[in-house]
Structure 1
Amino acid sequence: MSKSNSKRKQISLNAFEMNCVAHLSPGLWRYPGDKALRYKDIEYWQEVAQIAEKGLFDAIFIADVIGVYDIYRGNDMGALQTALQVPVNDPTQLAIIGASVTKHLGFGVTAGVPFEHPFPFARRLSTLDHLTKGRVGWNIVTGYLPSANKNMGSSELPHDERYELADEYMEVIYKLLEGSWEDDAVILDSKSGHFADPTKIHHIGHHGKYFDVPGIHICEPSIQRTPVLFQAGNSVRGRKFAATHAEAIFIAPPTKEYAKVAVKQVRDALIAAGRDPYSAKIYCLATIITDSTEELAEAKYKDLLSYASTQGALVLNSGWLGVDLSRYDLDDPLSNIKSNAIVAQVEALSNSTTGDGREWTLRDLIKLTGIGCQGPKFIGSPAQVADMLEDFIAYSDADGFNLAYATTPGTFADVVEFIVPELQRRGVYKEAYSEGSLRHKLFGKGDRLGHEHIASRYRVNGAKSSINDYAGTGRIKPKKKDIDYVI
């Protein structure tokens, strides 16, 4: 019997996808009925989007990597043999494809700041926000695969310096999206033939350590201007970055006990950054395996596990942890594994127990990550899974889940068929979408970033001057304080 609906937290869901064959469940593309091999087809992505919207998911969260997982055994053969996140196509077009057949669903696309200059990327963001009618988000990543830097012809920055670069990258993005075009810059004066008022379109004059961007943003403002900002950095430095910029934060705790610790760390970081601790939504990685009964769900999970690739899991975790796991015995404790690449992943697992009091071993890690990677698995009937989801949210203080799939889109379809109605019956899941942009649907406070967000510092304030006063100089030179970027 369900508890009273009073003071029960609403649960949010995202579908966690990637434009590839094997995302977080290597080997499962072979499972009967799985459609991952159709990742190159528009119709496949339209189907995924329609299933997610039917289930009132907040968004499809689309992961990405630039590079290949080549740390395991020192080469990329394992990744290629198991199709582990390679081949991988660009994620950004999927937002437009999905938006074309949906009305409300959001699309969070991943893009790494080291791999595309902020000037053209700002145009990409504005284009996506225009074409999705304000339903796009950006998952900001700093990159972690060494192969990506090698193929870009650049050296890999130290972990914390990657976030220093990312901070400046965000400054450029905010200046372009928030501060270059004023809200009334587009005038559409058919009599004079003037599309825009150039005095209300400003050169940003950015000259920093990593980037020089003197000019204007070359797109007119979109509905959200800056897309909803997602982030998944859970190291100490990553949390600081997320607390400064992110509106939705993705974490991957293996247990609800560690989720509680990780969520508190994020909430505390938001407070330290001068923000409301609940100004960002926190989504936990998880996988749901369900059916009409517990017996059918357990049988389904056992059947799915028989297709999981041990080699693929070792390849994936070698990339995540930044260490060749072929050098370790499967029964070695994770605390013996030294990693510099993803500090938070090691911390999350090595500080958690397996549930029977033992420390995590590599064998435990591979078993856990065979399906849906390291997030918890919720397996059972609709009522059982709903109980587990409610308990996890109540205990951890998270806001929802990024749902990895065992099979695609079958896992998502099962959630929509079995779990969403049960959560709605309990009063802990929305019955309909709100109107408006993705940001407004998530927070109910309008389309734009609020004045408390760091991006607001880069908006034009005060009376305006002619752009011709400083056009071509490569920097903003306001006259009589006509333009004031409050930085």
Structure 2
Amino acid sequence: MKRRQMHLVAFLKTGPTFHHHGAWRHPMAPLDDILRPERYEHVARVLEAACFDACFFEDFAGIFETYGGDFTTMLGKGGQINLLDPLMVLPFMARATSRLGLGITLSTSFYHPFQLARMLSSLDHLSGGRVAWNVVTSANDKEAQNFGLERIGDRDTRYGRAEETVEACMKLWQSWEADALILDKVNGRFADPTKVHATNYAGRYVKTRGPLPTPRSPQGHPVIMQAGSSPRGRAFAARFAEMIFTFQFQKSDMQAFRQDMHARMAAHGRDPRHCAILPSLDIILGETRAMAEEKRALLDSLVDPELALAITSCHIGIDLKGMPLDKPLAVLAEDVQVRGSFDILMQGMQAEKGLTLREAAQRYGTSCMAPQLCGTAQDVADQMQDLFDSEACDGFVVTPTTFPGMFEDFARALTPELQRRGLLRTAYAGKTLRETLRD
């Protein structure tokens, strides 16, 4: 019987900072190419050589302004920003690769289903069937105001719209039958109009007619990815997700999340094997354990304390500027707007025996509370294998520390070690992302 193998997805941004908010300041982290296509083409080739299933771009349509009510700290100190629209970057990465999946974050609160369906179907064609859509609802009023809305809706409204948007997109993607495009020059038949259909979707929040002008794409529709951790988010993922990006701090929490999602998917009649559950990991590799720990200490020393507070503020939806930082984190519980990120902070607090707000923010600044694996390739592979074999996950979303150096180290040292153990493919079996995930 074939051994179960890991699915690996790389977390990317078109900005300086990923999860570790000091890594962009590392002397081995180039920045002069941050607005150039070569930067993203290079990392795509590295990830494909390392046999990753996919990469995806996390996105926020604007600049976070929660901390202090403006973007001074976030922008000035190099926080989580996308300097380029990831949608414009993916075609360059598609041309540089042939098997790597390519994921994009797009909000159902701001984009109409017809626009989403057309963009994603076009990308799926241009990439040969390798596109994933990370479905988000967004939760920030400032982001909503960039799109002409006064406020973002409450969670139930956002997820209600998200469900209808995905339903409408699915209908639009099916508006062309698979063989509707004929391309017969001799007989003058370009397409069969009887095999192209209006959609006529009308819900409470969205409405669209269709059909798309874009033929059915190689995958039929993009792979659906989702990262919600609230009960409403989990319910959404159970219906639609084929990849779930999740944060848990401890193995027991990962196992509980995976079991819960499997039960929810089964209740919808879905095969849980058709959804990869992927907790986030940060990885720091060294030739020896001591060298890896030395690298981590250097990286941690580069995190600006005010930036750590700013990114924590943005992720939990509370302005921490001017708050008493020596109080326990739990005092914020009643005011939290983004439940999932706060729960991750609380998990870290339990694991590290009562973090204060200052300590939690500084810890959050080094990894956004994702587990951080540090050591040699053998050490890190041992920890990944333990989580994987314990059925805590189906693989991992891997976030870089130094970029692109961590992914280059992964490809050189960790990929061969995982392959030697039979935990990672040595070649791609299929052409599309969905085929890769089902392999």
| TM-score normalised by length of structure 1 | 0.86
Q: Give the Cα–Cα distance (whole angstroms) in 1 for the partners of residues 30 and 255 of structure 2.
A: 35
Q: Give the Cα–Cα distance (whole angstroms) in 2 for the partners of residues 274 and 365 of structure 1.
A: 40
Mapped contact 2:344–2:369 kept (Cα < 8 A): no
Q: 5 Å matches for 1:95-114? A: 95-114=90-109
Verify: 1:373 aligned to 2:360, yes or no.
Answer: no
Q: Which residue of 2 aligns with 1:143?
A: 138
Residue 225 of structure 1: CA displacement?
2.1
Q: Which residue of 1 aligns with 2:383?
A: 388
Mapped contact 1:256–1:396 kept (Cα < 8 A): no
Mapped contact 2:60–2:82 kept (Cα < 8 A): no
Q: Which residue of 2 aligns with 1:129?
A: 124
Q: Which residue of 2 aligns with 1:177?
A: 173
Residue 332 of structure 1: CA displacement?
2.6
Secondary structure, in 3 states, of the residue corresponding to 2:210? Answer: coil
Among 249, 270, 276, the residue aligned to 1:275? 270
- Shift of the 229–211 alpha-carbon distance from structure 1 to 2, 3 Å rule, reads same
- Residue 314 of structure 2 aligns with an amino acid whose one-letter code is G
Over 6 Å off, 4+ runs: none
Among 341, 346, 349, the residue aligned to 1:345? 341
Verify: 1:441 aligned to 2:436, yes or no.
Answer: yes
- Shift of the 441–87 alpha-carbon distance from structure 1 to 2, 3 Å rule, reads closer
Residue 360 of structure 1: CA displacement?
4.0
Secondary structure, in 3 states, of the residue corresponding to 2:277? Answer: strand
Aligned residues: 437
Secondary structure, in 3 states, of the residue corresponding to 2:274? Answer: coil
Residue 211 of structure 1: CA displacement?
1.9
Secondary structure, in 3 states, of the residue corresponding to 1:253? Answer: coil
- Residue 169 of structure 1 aligns with an amino acid whose one-letter code is T
Secondary structure, in 3 states, of the residue corresponding to 1:440? Answer: helix
Q: Give the Cα–Cα distance (whole angstroms) in 1 for the partners of residues 331 and 216 of structure 2.
A: 51
Verify: 1:35 aligned to 2:30, yes or no.
Answer: yes
Q: 5 Å matches for 1:50-449? A: 50-86=45-81, 88-154=83-149, 155-178=151-174, 180-338=175-333, 339-351=335-347, 353-356=349-352, 358-444=353-439
Q: Give the Cα–Cα distance (whole angstroms) in 2 for the partners of residues 314 and 352 of structure 1.
A: 16
Mapped contact 1:243–1:273 kept (Cα < 8 A): yes
Residue 203 of structure 1: CA displacement?
0.8
- Listed as ranges, the gaps of 5+ residues in structure 1 are 1-5, 445-487
Mapped contact 1:372–1:405 kept (Cα < 8 A): no
Residue 186 of structure 1: CA displacement?
1.3
Q: Please report the RMSD computed on the Cα atoms of aligned residues, expressed in angstroms.
A: 1.9
Q: Give the Cα–Cα distance (whole angstroms) in 2 for the partners of residues 335 and 11 of structure 1.
A: 35
In the TM superposition, what whole-angstrom CA distance separates every residue of 1:149-189 from its partner, at most 9, and x where no partner exists?
122121310012100000110111011002x1111211223
Q: Give the Cα–Cα distance (whole angstroms) in 1 for the partners of residues 364 and 186 of structure 2.
A: 63
In the TM superposition, what whole-angstrom CA distance separates every residue of 1:196-230 from its partner, at most 9, and x where no partner exists?
11111111112222222123111011101211110
Mapped contact 1:292–1:418 kept (Cα < 8 A): no
Higher helix share: 2
| TM-score normalised by length of structure 2 | 0.95
Mapped contact 2:63–2:74 kept (Cα < 8 A): yes
Secondary structure, in 3 states, of the residue corresponding to 2:146? Answer: helix
Q: Give the Cα–Cα distance (whole angstroms) in 2 for the partners of residues 163 and 253 of structure 1.
A: 22
Q: How high is the sequence identity, in percent, across the aligned residues? A: 35
Mapped contact 1:232–1:250 kept (Cα < 8 A): yes
Q: Give the Cα–Cα distance (whole angstroms) in 2 for the partners of residues 392 and 313 of structure 1.
A: 28
Q: Which residue of 2 aligns with 1:49?
A: 44
- Shift of the 7–227 alpha-carbon distance from structure 1 to 2, 3 Å rule, reads closer
